[in-house]
Amino acid sequence: MSKTSVVTESPVTVIEKQEKLPIVTKVSYGLGDFASQLFWSFSGSYLTIYYTDVMGIAPAVIAMIMLFSRIADGMFDPVLGAIADRTKSKHGRFRPYILYGTPFLALFSVLAFTSPAFLGSMDAKIAWALFTYLGLSALYTVVNIPYGSLASVMTPNPGERTALFSFRMTFTNLGSVLLSIASMPLIIFFSGGNANSLTGNGYTMTAVTLAVIAVPLFYVLFFNSKEVVLPINKAKVSFKESFVSVLSSKSLILIFFMLLTSLTAFFGRMGVQIYYYMYVIKRMDLVAVFMPLPAVGAVIGILLFTRFGTKIGKKNLLYISYFFSSIFLIMLYFIDFSNITMLLVVTFLFGLAQFGTPIVMAMIPDAIDELEYKKGVRVDGTAFAATSLATKFASALGGAVTVALLGSFGYVANADQTPEAIAGINLVVNILPALCFLLAMIPVFLYKLDDNKTREIREQLDAQRVNE
């Protein structure tokens, strides 16, 4: 009697076959960050100028509001992440926050661009700005940290995780493109069509329009995502143990500093670039052309260059991204303001070099896997909160420093700027971010978790999950 041969597959092969995600899931995940851009990037790009030119708040005060809010929000991040890790519901650990937090995020994204009539005094306006900005920041955390954590629990397949982050960052930049193209025309339209006389209502109604678009997109994400990766260790983990575990991860700490330095450059420039186009180049008619160029370039850069990560390594790609980002910003600083063609070309090239962020984001699940392998503790929410903290600090540092510097260089709202103010705006928009990108290369150099090591760790963890 002949024997029937049985072919067994490795745990890794089985998991990779079982966990291929449908394209609709990947697109839905990307739409989550598209929606996030409509909330966060719009406020990052226009809230400062709304405060100075509409509400009349001094740049130094705005810097303090943003710095205080970001620090307070940063303290909230790890707490929210740890709470999410311990959440048990029929929707999973992270999806409920998207379901219930999104409407409140939409509300505060609009309130931040309002100046109610009862705010008679400047102190009242400052208090309102602080309240709404704190609320916007906290609610963005409630939705965005669980959203970021989803990628590491939607599939154990490393290739599919990378695909999720690629879709995320592609839609991030598409959202930025949409905002850059549509925001100023919408503000002008709702201001009565006069580009030289923007009104508070113009900003408010634009925020309402973007919120109406963003909310359904978050619910598309909610209904098309599923959490399938559960912690191997089912024992209850204390808050202290979660925080200590994350702080003990050298890989996560270095990722934190990669994000802190590179995103300080990104957010710092994003928050004040509108001043550069309005008061330095003095081409309001080209704002809708200049603003989307970096994001368009970034989409192309991600599609062209991130695929080489498996060939030359993630670290080498980050070196290339950060180095050329710095070079192109320095070039922008020295180009004559009247040379519009060259300014457009180099602005696009700067965007083309902005393919580093999805590479860093793809390192986070690697570090989470390494931590679970070494400590037996899986803390997706806490780990993503720790790296999100870098984003918040970068937003605070970049926003506060650049706005404060504008004031120190003599910026005056709604007026022709002095030569000193123009030179200062150029310095803040181009040279300071260039220096930050160069600094970002230091933690990249110190990062030691290479592709071979992460592959070995995943094989061990996948084998344990198959045997559970």
* Phi-psi domain of 235 (left: phi exceeds 0; alpha: psi -120 through 50; beta: other): beta
Question: Beta-carbon neighbour count of residue 240 at 10 Å?
Answer: 9
Instruction: Kindly give the interhelix angle for 380-408 and 432-439, rounded to the nearest 10 degrees.
Output: 150
Distance CA 397, CA 66 (A): 9
Q: What is the distance, to the nearest Å, from the Cα of residue 27 to the centroid of all Cα atoms in its chain? A: 18
Using CA atoms, how far residue 86 sits from 231, 246, 247, 249, in Å, is 11, 15, 19, 20
Task: Answer whether 161's CB lies under 8 Å from 151's CB.
Answer: yes
- CATH number of 23-224+235-463, picked from 3.30.479.10, 1.20.1250.20, 3.40.190.10, 2.30.30.100: 1.20.1250.20
Distance CA 237, CA 210 (A): 39
pLDDT score at 165:
81
Task: Answer whether 146's CB lies under 8 Å from 84's CB.
Answer: yes
Domain parsing of the chain, residue ranges: 23-224+235-463
- Per residue in 351-381, pLDDT tens? 999 888 888 888 888 888 888 888 887 788 8
Rg of the chain taking only CA atoms, in angstroms: 23
Q: b/e per residue, 154-188, with b = 16+ CB within 10 A?
A: bbbbbebbbbbbbbbbbbbbbbbbbbbbbbbebbb
Residues (pLDDT < 70) of the chain are 1-19, 158-159, 231-237, 309-310, 465-468
Vertex 270: Cα angle to 268 and 274 (nearest 5): 120
Closest CA to 140 of 236, 71, 227, 37: 37
Closest CA to 208 of 300, 355, 106: 106
Tokens 């790609």 correspond to: 317
Coil, helix or strand for 355? coil
Question: Beta-carbon neighbour count of residue 297 at 10 Å?
Answer: 22
pLDDT score at 3:
39
pLDDT score at 12:
43
Task: Answer whether 217's CB lies under 8 Å from 30's CB.
Answer: no
Question: Beta-carbon neighbour count of residue 264 at 10 Å?
Answer: 28
